[in-house]
Structure 1
Amino acid sequence: MAGPRFQALTGFRDFLPKDTAARNYLFEIWRSVARRYGFVEYETPILEDTALYLKKSGGELSTQLYRFEDQGGRDVTLRPEVTPSMARLVAQHQRDFPKPIKWFEIGQCFRYERPQKGRGREFFQFNVDIVGEAGPQADAELISLAIDTMLTFGFQKGDFIVRVSDRQAWVNFATQRGVTEKGITDFLQIIDKLEREKPDVTAEKLGALGLSTDEVNAFIANPENASAAFETIREELTARGLGDYLSLDLSIVRGLAYYTGVVFEVFDSRKSMRAVAGGGRYDTLIETISDGGVAMPATGFAMGDYVIRNLIEETPHTELQMAAWLQRNAAACDIYLVLADDSKRSAALEILSDLRNAGISCDLPFSAAKVNKQFQNAERSGARFALVIGSEFPELKLKNLSFRSEETCHVLGLADWLTERLKQPDGPLLA
């Protein structure tokens, strides 16, 4: 039998209810941690002027754009990342906000690249930025937020590490060896791909710039090449009790051309996938986007939904935490009304409205059905309880669908009673 004619495009996803709930779990963690750190949420359009991404992104990004001409003849692009949009917004409105600006956005992005584990052509990105603060204390704040985000997902010490570097250290390295300004751009791309490219390819590319693999590896191996900014960040993280999650790794430079200083990436310790999150300092991007009109230091990082969800599902203790959240939050309702006496439908509808008005999630069948069938529907809905309305009305039965326990309740004061009952943990009744 032939399959459906239309399906989601390659690299794009449909979100069934369970997938939507899992995505909402990620969003809730992201928002809660960002707000805990004093960041406020903003939002930018997913469609932007293409020139915004050609200004200073560099690397492979310009070849991965979903770019087209709209009906007004404008060259536009579905955003491949959030940072340039944030920089544009700050450049336009920075006078309206005290500094430093601490903002975050959860937004959908699009890149035309080969779908693989942890990567699709559309994805949601958690983007967190501090604008207007040049000191490494701002970088430390972001790295701390990234670590706390991982811990809030349930990851533990040993599950992940934050690898920190300084792009400026590599610029100095290349400049001291006579590499031209254009050559430095190529050089940073080579360093960014050290772990992904074959050694002989890397050696050939470095040789074209008058450099060798040995001197590059020696630079990476020497901790004395760490910048003063890194030392400050390490002191800051240690004071917060998070120093053990930090590792100096000068092989990290990040692929986008707008990075100017400290950069970092969060990796799972098993290295089963690409970076979970990454970012760094981009002190000249806002000035570039505003054509020299606004010069402001900035630093930020992003975490995508693909990789973090994969890592959660591959780590038993984080998967259990997400499963527990989904059990509490992904059900269609908390209480399913079972009508054991069809003559009580009007009473059941009144109860339904009262409970919903009290903020209790509940449902009932649209048409008459056998009681066993109604209980089956209740369990399929994911409801914690079934409220049985039968011939004993105004007395009712509340059945715990997980533990098959039962309580008697009364229609008078029902909404208040159920509100308190729902706050109690599931389990066999001890009464």
Structure 2
Amino acid sequence: MSAKPLPGFRDFYPAELAERAHVMRVWREVARRYGFVEYDGPPLEPLDLYTRKSGDEIVGQLYNFVDKGDRPVALRPEMTPTFARMVAARANALRKPVRWFSMPQLFRYERQQKGRLREHFQLNVDMVGEADVTADAELLAVAIDMLRGLGLTQHDVRARVSDRRLLAALLARVGVTEAQLPAAYQAIDKVERDPRTVLVERLAGAGVGGDVAERLLDLARLWSVDELRATHGDDAAVSEALDRFARYQAHLTALGVHEWVVLDLTIVRGLAYYTGIVFELFDARGEFRAICGGGRYDTLLKALGDVDLPALGFGMGDVVLGELLRARGLMPSLAPTLDYWLAVEDAELLPVAQSTASLLRRLGHAVEYPLREQALNKQLKAAVNAGAREAVILRREALAGRGEVLVRALSDGQESAHQLGAWLEARIAEAGGAHGVSPA
């Protein structure tokens, strides 16, 4: 039997699982504050749910097979198709805008790279039913607040934002035809990775002439809205798109996240279904892959679920985010901890320890005691290794004669004697009431 998981998959030992749980707690809490509610769907879906969205070429990236009912199926590589199917099934009954989030495990059979595995957990946040840029600003704000909640700042992360409608208007202005738009988007998307000469050659192969290709690639730099307006604002379509984007920026300012955001026309998002504002979040030092990406996809629900509603959303994976948090020293120490370790002088005191542990656990405390007879010094070492805050030491003579236990603080070794009943009464009072328990 192999001691390792499959390539691209992870074992989550308690420390690693605690890190994942920490990230998910922040995701869940921030989503709740923004009014989003959690949902989930099946990890196995019909294969055509994905090929309808992304074409047959996606099959090579899937874990897919024919099940015992002779149905072509696949482990989910993303959540958006499931989300679209579920919203479409109850579209008329759902309150608009729909605000849903999920944290599924996703699977893709692809080459492993830094920050990319064959499985990962991903936060998906989506809104349906609102076309105005107020929704776009709200979506980016929740993504940024999640990173804030994990301890990151605008000095650690940049939100690079564009608008497919603005970019299409600018490309049309420099001479790109509608038929050439896919090739133009691909070239701009790869500006930071491929040499300019290579991109010009590819554009020429798509029928984009040299002068147009050069003007097209010149758009792929950092602009401000004012610069774009001064240079291209005399075009009606560009002017309209800039007005929309300026309103979006004003909403981001009101939401207190504008310092994280920069306009970057190279953010295209490779998926063809995006229709409006798109964004990706990167670490400011450029050491990692994108932390998060998403945008507006107003036509996708109709294509997948025959529901004509505007929609937008993003995905944030746990792999790159975890790497970034560890690199910046922001992943908290999540060693296992106990509130109390109940140490017994001999096995005859075990029933007292068990009943005491039961009461403390019902009060919400984490408690352990020895499951077999051990010397007291071994028990106290075990208490330290378990991360216990205090050891409650039960000795036969003190308990039988005076009803006392010794409570030792394991951080500094300070000890104090207490009547067991009074000590338990104090724990009940700290918990705010009896909670159906008695120290008797």
TM-score normalised to structure 2 length:
0.87
Which of 177, 183, 202 matches 1:179?
Answer: 177
Is residue 314 from structure 1 mapped to residue 327 from structure 2 by the alignment? yes
Equivalent residues of 1:335, 1:387 under 8 A apart = yes
Aligned to 1:95: 92
Structure 1 position 261, deviation (Å): 0.8
Aligned to 1:218: 218
CA distance in 1, matches of 2:109, 2:94: 35
CA distance in 2, matches of 1:107, 1:30: 12
Structure 1 position 398, deviation (Å): 2.1
The structure with more radius of gyration: 2
Which of 285, 289, 313 matches 2:304?
Answer: 289
Letter in 1 for 2:7: T
CA distance in 2, matches of 1:242, 1:180: 34
CA distance in 1, matches of 2:183, 2:408: 67
Equivalent residues of 2:391, 2:408 under 8 A apart = yes
Q: Which moved more, 1:72-81 or 1:61-70?
A: 61-70
Equivalent residues of 2:184, 2:216 under 8 A apart = no
Structure 1 position 85, deviation (Å): 0.9
Equivalent residues of 1:132, 1:297 under 8 A apart = yes
Aligned to 2:342: 337
2:184 match: secondary structure:
helix
Aligned to 1:163: 160
Which of 416, 420, 432 matches 1:411?
Answer: 420
Change (3 A) 1:59 1:77: closer
Aligned to 2:367: 362
User: Aligned residue pairs: how many?
Assistant: 409
Q: Which moved more, 1:54-63 or 1:407-416?
A: 54-63
Aligned to 2:259: 244
CA distance in 1, matches of 2:311, 2:408: 55
Is residue 259 from structure 1 mapped to residue 256 from structure 2 by the alignment? no
Change (3 A) 1:413 1:297: farther
Letter in 2 for 1:299: L
1:292-313 CA-to-partner distances (Å, cap 9, x unmatched) read: x310000111100001110000
CA distance in 2, matches of 1:309, 1:36: 22
Structure 1 position 109, deviation (Å): 0.3
Q: Which moved more, 1:261-270 or 1:400-409?
A: 400-409
Structure 1 position 410, deviation (Å): 2.7
Equivalent residues of 1:387, 1:398 under 8 A apart = yes
Letter in 1 for 2:131: A
Which of 405, 430, 435 matches 1:396?
Answer: 405
Structure 1 position 138, deviation (Å): 0.4
Aligned to 2:293: 278
Structure 1 position 204, deviation (Å): 1.8
CA distance in 1, matches of 2:56, 2:270: 6
CA distance in 2, matches of 1:340, 1:148: 51
TM-score normalised to structure 1 length:
0.89
CA distance in 1, matches of 2:62, 2:159: 29
1:220 match: secondary structure:
coil
Equivalent residues of 1:266, 1:276 under 8 A apart = yes
2:28 match: secondary structure:
helix
What is the root-mean-square deviation in Å for CA atoms of aligned residues?
A: 2.2
Letter in 2 for 1:259: Y
Change (3 A) 1:44 1:189: farther
CA distance in 1, matches of 2:378, 2:209: 74
Is residue 234 from structure 1 mapped to residue 249 from structure 2 by the alignment? yes
Q: Which moved more, 1:382-391 or 1:359-368?
A: 382-391
Change (3 A) 1:313 1:266: same
Which of 32, 36, 42 matches 1:35?
Answer: 32
Letter in 1 for 2:125: V
CA distance in 1, matches of 2:244, 2:209: 26
Structure 1 position 66, deviation (Å): 1.5
1:120-174 CA-to-partner distances (Å, cap 9, x unmatched) read: 0000000001100001100100111111111110012311111100122333345
Q: Which moved more, 1:407-416 or 1:58-67?
A: 58-67
Which of 275, 292, 317 matches 1:304?
Answer: 317
